[in-house]
């Protein structure tokens, strides 16, 4: 069995084709596949990770990579329920359309956020496909940055939140590791210390006890 680590649930939201799955693939395998297919429903991926600054901050990330299509929206609350971190993605090379959806998700998350300080979801706005606008002359990057900044400042002041912005490129890999390091570094120390305390008191995990209970049910004939 894997080592006992604290779990951190992270959900990735955003319009379809902004590169959510590619971002996850880059983070997990450090590879980029331009042929990534549309996600149907959602995919659940786990990865053990620690911050580059502090190897003691080690945890198991549980990532929900969700489908961007509107037709799957009714399922989404299940994915962000209990999530600690939400990455709300948009496509920098298709800013207007995808940023609108990003704002929609941020509003949704805010509406559903709990008043309990412990359950507050940490939202990060992610501008993906940075490689496409980096050296582009057609896209007004300054204008885009201005719009993003304005939105974040206004949202944060109105809702007393702390949304932050990262730009990434799943294709080149730029900004991905930095993003996840920041996420881990942002977590309060309590999260790790509390886990330490809890594991010492309860020894058995859930699966273990189920399996123990069912152990003797295995058939074992060998004929035929």
The correct pick among 20, 25, 129, 171 for binding another protein (CB under 8 A) is 25
How many chain residues touch another protein (CB under 8 A)? 45
Which residue in 185, 196, 166 sits closest to 50, CA to CA? 185
Give yes or no for residue 53 binding another protein (CB under 8 A): no
Give yes or no for residue 111 binding another protein (CB under 8 A): no
Give yes or no for residue 223 binding another protein (CB under 8 A): yes
Contact in structure between 61 and 47 (CB atoms under 8 Å): yes
Q: Work out how close the CB of 44 gets to another protein at its nearest, in angstroms, rounded to a whole number.
A: 4
Number of neighbouring beta carbons within 10 Å of residue 91? 23
Angle of helix 95-112 versus helix 141-159 axis, rounded to 10: 10
Q: Work out how close the CB of 168 gets to another protein at its nearest, in angstroms, rounded to a whole number.
A: 19
Give yes or no for residue 57 binding another protein (CB under 8 A): no
Tokens 């429903």 sit on residue: 41
User: In 158-169, which positions are buried (b, 16+ CB within 10 angstroms) versus exposed (e)?
Assistant: eeebebbebbbb
Contact in structure between 148 and 112 (CB atoms under 8 Å): no
Give yes or no for residue 41 binding another protein (CB under 8 A): yes
Choice between 90 and 155, CB closer to another protein: 90
Give yes or no for residue 75 binding another protein (CB under 8 A): yes
Strand-pair partners of 13: 88
Residue 38 structure tokens:
């549309």
The sign of the dihedral angle between the CA atoms of 135, 52, 109, 70 is positive
Q: Work out how close the CB of 70 gets to another protein at its nearest, in angstroms, rounded to a whole number.
A: 7
The correct pick among 136, 149, 185, 211 for binding another protein (CB under 8 A) is 211
Contact in structure between 14 and 68 (CB atoms under 8 Å): yes
Give yes or no for residue 199 binding another protein (CB under 8 A): no
The correct pick among 19, 26, 28, 54 for binding another protein (CB under 8 A) is 28
Site residues for another protein per CB under 8 A: 9, 16-17, 21, 25, 28-29, 31, 33, 36-45, 47, 65, 69-72, 74-75, 78, 81-82, 206-207, 209-211, 213-214, 217-224
């Amino acid at each position: 069995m894997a080592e006992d680590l604290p779990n951190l649930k992270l959900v990735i939201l955003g319009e379809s084709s902004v590169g959510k799955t590619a971002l996850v693939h880059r983070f997990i395998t450090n590879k980029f596949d331009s042929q990534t297919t549309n996600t149907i429903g959602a995919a659940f991926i786990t990865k053990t990770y620690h911050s580059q600054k502090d190897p003691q901050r080690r945890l198991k990330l549980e990532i929900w990579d969700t489908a961007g299509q509107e037709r799957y929206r009714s399922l989404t609350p299940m994915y962000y329920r209990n999530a600690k971190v939400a990455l709300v993605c948009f496509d920098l090379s298709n800013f207007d359309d995808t940023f609108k959806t990003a704002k929609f998700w941020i509003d949704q998350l805010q509406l559903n956020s709990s008043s309990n300080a412990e359950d507050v979801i940490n939202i990060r706005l992610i501008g993906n496909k940075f490689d496409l606008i980096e050296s582009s002359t057609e896209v007004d990057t300054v204008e885009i940055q201005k719009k993003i900044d304005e939105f974040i400042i206004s949202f944060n002041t109105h809702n007393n939140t702390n949304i932050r912005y990262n730009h990434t490129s799943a294709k080149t890999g730029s900004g991905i590791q930095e993003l996840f390091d920041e996420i881990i570094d942002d977590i309060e120390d309590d999260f790790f210390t509390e886990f330490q305390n809890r594991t010492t008191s309860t020894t058995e995990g859930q699966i273990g006890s189920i399996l123990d209970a069912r152990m003797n049910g295995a058939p074992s004939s060998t004929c035929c």
